[in-house]
Amino acid sequence: MKTGPKGSDGRVGAKAALFDLDGTLIDSERRSLVLWGLLLTNHGVDHDETLLREFMGRRGPDVLAEKATLFPGRRVEDLLAELISYLDRPGLPEISPVPGAADLIRRIDGHGLPVVLVTSAHRWWAESCLELVGVGDVVRTIVSAEDVTVGKPDPSGFLLGARAAGVRPGECVAFEDSLAGIAAAKAAGMTCVGVATTHHASELSAADLVVSDLAGVDWPLPLYGDFPV
């Protein structure tokens, strides 16, 4: 297992913690699957869960441009507007904090380390979700879809987050649930904790550590830990 810089006590000597949002701090998987499913269905695209998961953890503009052949003749901007309009539909699955999210963030903040949010979502969504989790007063730096030109798996969002925290990328620990997000964090040179909410733990082998959720995650991170997966 690859790890970040080691402290004298045998733990990862991180100087900042960077968190993804959807699937990492909030459980929004079911809602996201429904929203993308509605878009595909309304455009006559046959799909299964495997295809739906290819849209997860990505910036909407990036993944829609990549999947343009599924929506012939449609502009990415129009598809995004349609997707957002579905948020007003009644009966969508509820979103809720991932277990342990608020406690872990407050413990990291209590150690005097900056906590940065790096998300593929828009800033308005990020800010509302941080309030839902109960850490809007702690997470003061947000890197959102508006701040990058290319989203995950490109590392630019995480690199911006490290710069905002005033530390080197190799001194950061990133928490991610998606394959694209883990790839982005590792490409940025960070230690990465994979959170097995969206994907099965066995699919997150590129991460340095894998946890089922954020409950019971120790801080500072041990180099080797008995985490439930």
Q: DSSP characters for 59-122?
A: -HHHHHHHTGGGSTT--HHHHHHHHHHGGG-TTPPP-EEPTTHHHHHHHHHHTT--EEEE-SS-
Given pLDDT bands bounded at 50, 70 and 90, which one contains residue 223?
low
> Could you give the angle at which helices 123-133 and 101-110 cross, rounded to 10 degrees?
90
Domain definitions of the chain by residue range? 16-28+96-211, 29-88
Q: Which of 45-49, 53-57, 118-122 has the lowest mean pLDDT?
A: 53-57
User: Does the pLDDT value for residue 37 go beyond 60?
Assistant: yes
Q: How confident is the model over 200-224, as a mean pLDDT?
A: 89
Q: What is the pLDDT of residue 11?
A: 61
Catalytic center residues: 20, 22
Q: Which of 76-90, 136-150, 209-223 has the lowest mean pLDDT?
A: 209-223
Q: How confident is the model over 134-154, as a mean pLDDT?
A: 95
Given pLDDT bands bounded at 50, 70 and 90, which one contains residue 29?
confident
User: Does the pLDDT value for residue 227 go beyond 90?
Assistant: no
Mean pLDDT, all residues of the chain: 90
CATH number for the domain formed by residue range(s) 16-28+96-211: 3.40.50.1000
Phi-psi region of 209 (alpha: psi -120 to 50; beta: other; left: phi over 0): beta
Give the residue from 95, 76, 124, 82 showing the smallest Cα distance to 24. Answer: 95
